[in-house]
Amino acid sequence: MKYKPVHRFDMSPKDMIKVQKQLAKEVKLIHFSDEPNLVSGVDLSFPKDEGLAVIVTMDFKKLSVIDVTYAVDKITLPYIPGLLAFRELPIFLKAWEKLEIEPDIVFFDGQGYAHPRRMGIATHASFFIEKPTIGIAKSKLIGEYEEPGKKKGEFTFLYHKDEKIGIVLRTRDNVKPVFVSPGNLVDFNNALDFTYHFATKYKIPEITRKAHLYTQSLKQR
């Protein structure tokens, strides 16, 4: 799959923040009205000085894996809190270039709109791949929320500075919730409904859980 080269990645942290703020003005949290057909889940890992990006594409209705694509490359940028996308996107885009199946929506193991500058990996990536995106995170980055009920499917909203930025979703009874946020070109209802569709018997929804499992398998090779 081709992508739009929105900006370079070798810049100072100050310039990275400027880019985030500029792109944040262009985020569109709009309703995705169709039922997806094919969707992809993305997981990234950084063993030692290398980066590994895995894209798992699944049939939305059948919940079956159709394709697994991955890329490995050297990592040049250090981990900087709040600027993770600048470290992760280059390796993800290498995997995206190898992808031959076009997904309707792309899920990321990470944040979307629930970011200090509303520019988590899922949101940032959408400008390059020009696809609707959703972030599914295991933990909260920022914000305040009321604990959702203990039953599967119960949820509350995550807020930051009085703005709704995400959803705190219980994917299993009596298990810690996941933190879901729209990336771009979807709204909060889409992010909730599409994520919950993949909440089967595990805490992590299948779309990013499968990607993580393939990541762990590839790391052991």
Q: Is residue 204 assigned to a domain?
A: yes
Q: Is 163 inside a domain boundary?
A: no
Residue 162 lies in a domain: no
| Residue 104 Cα distances to 36, 128, 132, 146, 185, angstroms | 6, 15, 7, 32, 11
The domain total for the chain is 1
> Would you say residue 172 lies in a domain?
no
CATH number for the domain that contains residue 17: 3.30.2170.10
Question: Can you give the pLDDT at residue 48?
Answer: 77
Q: Is the whole-model pTM more than 0.95?
A: yes
Asked whether residue 15 is marked as a ligand-binding residue, the answer is no
Q: Give a yes or no: residue 155 inside a domain.
A: no
* Residue 205: domain span: 13-143+183-219
Antiparallel, parallel or unpaired: β 38-45 and 105-109: parallel
**Which residue do the tokens 């169709």 mark?**
34
- Splitting the chain (221 residues) into consecutive groups of 10 residues, what average pLDDT does each group show? 96 97 98 97 90 98 98 91 95 98 98 98 99 98 98 98 98 98 99 98 97 92 71
Asked if residue 89 belongs to a domain, the reply is yes
Reading across the β-sheet that carries 178-184, which strands appear in turn?
65-74, 50-59, 38-45, 105-109, 133-137, 178-184, 163-169, 155-160
Q: Is residue 168 part of a domain?
A: no
Q: Is residue 116 part of a domain?
A: yes
109 is in an annotated binding site: yes
